[in-house]
Amino acid sequence: MKSMFTVWWKELLELSRDRRTLMLALVMGPLLAPALFVGLLTLAETRAKDQMEKPLTIAMVGAEQAPNLVAWLAGQGIQRKDFKGDPDAAIRSQAEDVYLRIGGDYAQQWRDGEPALVEIVHDSTRQDAEVPVRRLENALARYGQQVGALRLLSRGINPAVAAPLAVSHKDLSTPESRKGIAMAMLPYLLILSAFLGGAYLIIDATAGERERQSLEPLLATPAPRGAVVSGKIAAACSVGLLSLLLTLLAFKLGASVAPGIARQLDMGLMSIAKMLAVLLPMLFIGTSLLTYIAAGAKSVKEAQSYMTFLMLMPMIPTIVLMVSPVKNQLWMFAVPFLAQNQMLLKVVRSETVPPVEWMVYFAAGFGLAALLWFAATRRYHQERLAISA
């Protein structure tokens, strides 16, 4: 125990002398993710607002065929734009988001009471065009319904006859859970910083120490190997915890200064404390796993090349859940990464987490961490670990 404390203290002392690494770990990391997150959210929000509310000006081909439609659209905030040249080419070159083509026989068809052709021309792979297209679509649908109803009335028929269904939405999402949608990326960012927060320190303290040839003398001391490993893991966890705390506080700060959605995030102190508790097992799992990997790697370079792969691991549940959302089940709280993801989502959506879920979560998380810790300790007992040259 005393040896563990000695190792822990020495690793932290050494790190504290390395100002630049310390700055990167404790300042850059915790600031970058929240800044990015809040910035992106704000950007997306203002952009969506712009597109929804600003008057939309689009090209309309064949507008002279349908002066009434054009006038009605203008009343809906969709204005006609003077446009010369090939509109299809303009869509392809992304100069225009969308344009309206009014069929050549529109006037004739209109007079005959036949469905008159209007085309919405756009590129469906362009995210930016999504909102204008939807606006135009909705406006045209409303116009069609209105005129249809008028035509029925003029023939003495109740328009309700042609509308057997009245479809409406009733949104039961709470204001809190709506924030959750915006925060789908937040769990990934947090899990990642917990999982790999202590990575550089632990790789340096294991593979790096071996490369600098100071591991052999260390292992020749009577300090038990288990204590040496645990001290190193404890040091990395301490740094990881501090960096995580700073990240969460930076998120809180970012949420309180940024406008719109970001201002409404559940970033109260209680929820921050809960998030920290959720991320704690991840921190241990990450550092123990990296110790295990670094103790088996031949060099720092080899140990670091695992990082790219490890960075993808927390992303798996986020992506899987985006593609096929599933209902929470108890077993999920035992699966690493997925469990953290679900727990964090629950916390930011201000849902209550039942005690049984907390229990399964902590038992599985700390159980896995203990297993990895044990494996790392076993690796420290291997002969080839100490032999550097």
Partner 1 sequence: MIVAENLRKTFKSKTGDVIAVDGVGFEARDGEITGLLGPNGAGKTTTLRMLYTLMAPEQGRVLIDGRDVAADPAAARRALGVLPDARGVYKRLTARENVRYFGELHGLSREEIDRRTQALAQALQMDDFLDRQTEGFSQGQRTKTAIARALVHDPRNVILDEPTNGLDVMTTRGLRGFLKQLRDEGRCVIFSSHIMQEVAALCDRIVVIAHGRVAAQGTPDELRAQTGQDNLEEAFVRLIGSDEGLHA
| Radius of gyration of the chain from its Cα atoms, rounded to whole angstroms | 30
Provide the residue type at 348 as one letter: V
- H or E element at residue 75: helix 67-75
- CA distance linking residue 49 with residue 31, whole number of Å: 27
* CB of residue 209 to partner 1, shortest distance in Å: 8
Q: Residue 310 in contact with residue 222, Cβ under 8 Å?
A: no
Tell me, what DSSP letter sits at residue 204? I
Number of residues that bind partner 1 (CB under 8 A): 28
Closer residue to partner 1, CB minimum distance, 65 or 206? 206
Is position 269 an interface residue for partner 1 (rule: CB under 8 A)?
Answer: no
Is position 386 an interface residue for partner 1 (rule: CB under 8 A)?
Answer: yes
* CB of residue 198 to partner 1, shortest distance in Å: 18
Is position 24 an interface residue for partner 1 (rule: CB under 8 A)?
Answer: no
CA distances, 215 to each of 87, 244, 305 (Å): 70, 29, 21
Chosen residue from 12, 14, 45, 143 binding partner 1 by CB under 8 A: 14
Q: Strands (DSSP E) along the chain, which ranges?
A: 56-61, 78-81, 98-102, 118-122
Is position 169 an interface residue for partner 1 (rule: CB under 8 A)?
Answer: no
For the CA atoms of 133, 138, 139, 143, what is the dihedral angle to 10 degrees?
Answer: 140
* Beta-ladder partners of 118: 102
Closer residue to partner 1, CB minimum distance, 135 or 210? 210
Chosen residue from 3, 51, 79, 109 binding partner 1 by CB under 8 A: 3
Is position 17 an interface residue for partner 1 (rule: CB under 8 A)?
Answer: yes
Q: Residue 333 in contact with residue 339, Cβ under 8 Å?
A: yes
Q: Residue 100 in contact with residue 60, Cβ under 8 Å?
A: yes
Part of the chain binding partner 1 (CB under 8 A), chosen from 28-36, 58-66, 162-170, 210-218: 210-218
* CB of residue 223 to partner 1, shortest distance in Å: 4
Is position 298 an interface residue for partner 1 (rule: CB under 8 A)?
Answer: no
Chosen residue from 53, 82, 171, 383 binding partner 1 by CB under 8 A: 383
Is position 189 an interface residue for partner 1 (rule: CB under 8 A)?
Answer: no
Is position 302 an interface residue for partner 1 (rule: CB under 8 A)?
Answer: no
Q: Which of 250, 259, 252 is nearest to 44 (CA)?
A: 259
Is position 258 an interface residue for partner 1 (rule: CB under 8 A)?
Answer: no
Contact string (CB under 8 A) for partner 1, positions 63-102, x = contact: ----------------------------------------
Is position 150 an interface residue for partner 1 (rule: CB under 8 A)?
Answer: no
Closer residue to partner 1, CB minimum distance, 145 or 382? 382
CA dihedral (37, 346, 272, 11) positive or negative: negative
Is position 124 an interface residue for partner 1 (rule: CB under 8 A)?
Answer: no
Is position 7 an interface residue for partner 1 (rule: CB under 8 A)?
Answer: yes
Closer residue to partner 1, CB minimum distance, 102 or 297? 297
Part of the chain binding partner 1 (CB under 8 A), chosen from 87-95, 130-138, 174-182, 381-389: 381-389
Q: Read out DSSP for 261-281?
A: HHHHS---HHHHHHHHHHHHH
Contact string (CB under 8 A) for partner 1, positions 214-243, x = contact: xxxxxxxxxxx-------------------
- CA distance linking residue 27 with residue 186, whole number of Å: 19
Is position 1 an interface residue for partner 1 (rule: CB under 8 A)?
Answer: no
Chosen residue from 213, 256, 264, 328 binding partner 1 by CB under 8 A: 213
Using CB atoms within 10 A of its CB, is residue 334 exposed (0-12), middle (13-18) or buried (19+)? middle
Is position 10 an interface residue for partner 1 (rule: CB under 8 A)?
Answer: yes
Is position 209 an interface residue for partner 1 (rule: CB under 8 A)?
Answer: yes
CA distances, 379 to each of 41, 146, 206, 225, 297 (Å): 44, 75, 11, 10, 11
For 368, the token pair is: 């896995």
Q: Which residues bind partner 1 (CB under 8 A)?
A: 2-3, 6-7, 10, 13-14, 17-18, 209, 212-224, 383, 386-389
